Structure 1
Amino acid sequence: MKKTLIALTLLPLGSLWAMDMQPVPGAEQLPLARMTENGKAYLVDKEGFSLYRFDKDAQGKSTCYAECAEKWPPALASAQQIEAGLGKGADAGFGLILRDDGQSQWSYLGQPLYRWIKDTAPGQSSGDGVKNVWHRVQL
């Protein structure tokens, strides 16, 4: 099973050996990437960890807090990323939502993005289908 990562942002030089890097028009500045596996493209973070969506979230609103957020850490935006803005990434469906705890979380097509605590290496997607409400984000 061949996996290819195409970055949407520049990664530290130490990571270049592990990824086939090509900018994606319109979203180059975002700390997200595209991973292709078996002909399907999935959204991953800049380290290559799978990103997930939660069926119980409303459009633009996270419902995952406390114990849920411990198992499904939200993909949070840093102050630097917020300051840099989305640029053309918004045209590609990427955005930020404001969580109830005041932090900004990345979203795709209005759905908040999360990681899964049991994914321990880049490219894993063991959270896909958990309780039939967690889904790997397909592009």
Structure 2
Amino acid sequence: MKRFAVVVGTAVLGLSALTACGGGDEQPAAAVNNASQSAEGKLATAQVGNFGKVVVDGTGRTLYVFDKDTADPSKSNCAGECAAKWPPVLAGSGTPKLDGVDASLVGTVARADGSKQVTLAGLPLYQFAQDSKAGDAKGQAVGGIWWVVGADGKKITAEVSSGSGDGYGY
């Protein structure tokens, strides 16, 4: 329940920042400000497991895409309990620092709750709540619908050798 409260509180703060700064639809992404507030306004790439270079936030936490989302048009289909387990990477104010990620692929999409979520090649980005540190990729292939993502915005569908995620597919 605490985690849900943190996600909701962060979403409200992110929305407040967006409202104060104004903004339109489908603009280049603003600073990354996710539920753990650990992204530090940065998207980068890092070597994670046997997946090669994947997209991570400013603290090195692995980011994911969801097969039930769409890229054209961008749409997030993970809300409620799903978003508590797969916190969306929310857009704040400003422009994110990018390291190894093409700025032309970074954007935002409006979520059902009114907040803005960062996208890569049109696909909304998420963290996995069970990833506790940089380099974790416990969310890879959960439910056969959650995937780490490369800097080109394409999902990486390699399976992990050990158990991943404990069934938080949606």
Partner residue, 1:41: 53
Q: Contact between 1:34 and 1:42, CA under 8 Å: does it hold in 2?
A: yes
Q: Contact between 1:89 and 1:95, CA under 8 Å: does it hold in 2?
A: no
Partner residue, 2:126: 114
The alpha-carbon deviation at position 33 of structure 1 amounts to: 1.0
Q: Distance in 1 between matches of 2:46 and 2:103?
A: 20
Between the aligned residues of both structures, percent identity stands at: 38
The alpha-carbon deviation at position 106 of structure 1 amounts to: 0.7
Partner residue, 1:19: none
Partner residue, 1:9: none
Partner residue, 1:99: 111
SS in 2 for 1:42: strand
Which residue identity lines up with residue 69 of structure 1 in the other structure? A
TM-score between both structures, scaled by the size of structure 1: 0.69
Q: Distance in 1 between matches of 2:129 and 2:80?
A: 14
What per-residue deviation string (whole Å, max 9, x for no partner) do you get for residues 54-75 of structure 1? 0001121000000000000000
1:56 aligns with 2:77: no
Q: CA RMSD in A?
A: 2.4
Matched residue count: 107
TM-score between both structures, scaled by the size of structure 2: 0.57
1:32 aligns with 2:13: no
SS in 1 for 2:75: coil
Q: Contact between 2:43 and 2:96, CA under 8 Å: does it hold in 1?
A: no
The alpha-carbon deviation at position 89 of structure 1 amounts to: 5.1
Q: Distance in 2 between matches of 1:103 and 1:89?
A: 23
The alpha-carbon deviation at position 48 of structure 1 amounts to: 0.5
The alpha-carbon deviation at position 111 of structure 1 amounts to: 0.4
Partner residue, 2:91: 77
Which residue identity lines up with residue 133 of structure 2 in the other structure? A
Shift in CA distance, 116/39, structure 1 to aligned 2, threshold 3 Å: closer
Partner residue, 2:139: 127
Q: Structure 2, unaligned stretches of length 5 or more? A: 1-30, 32-40, 152-170
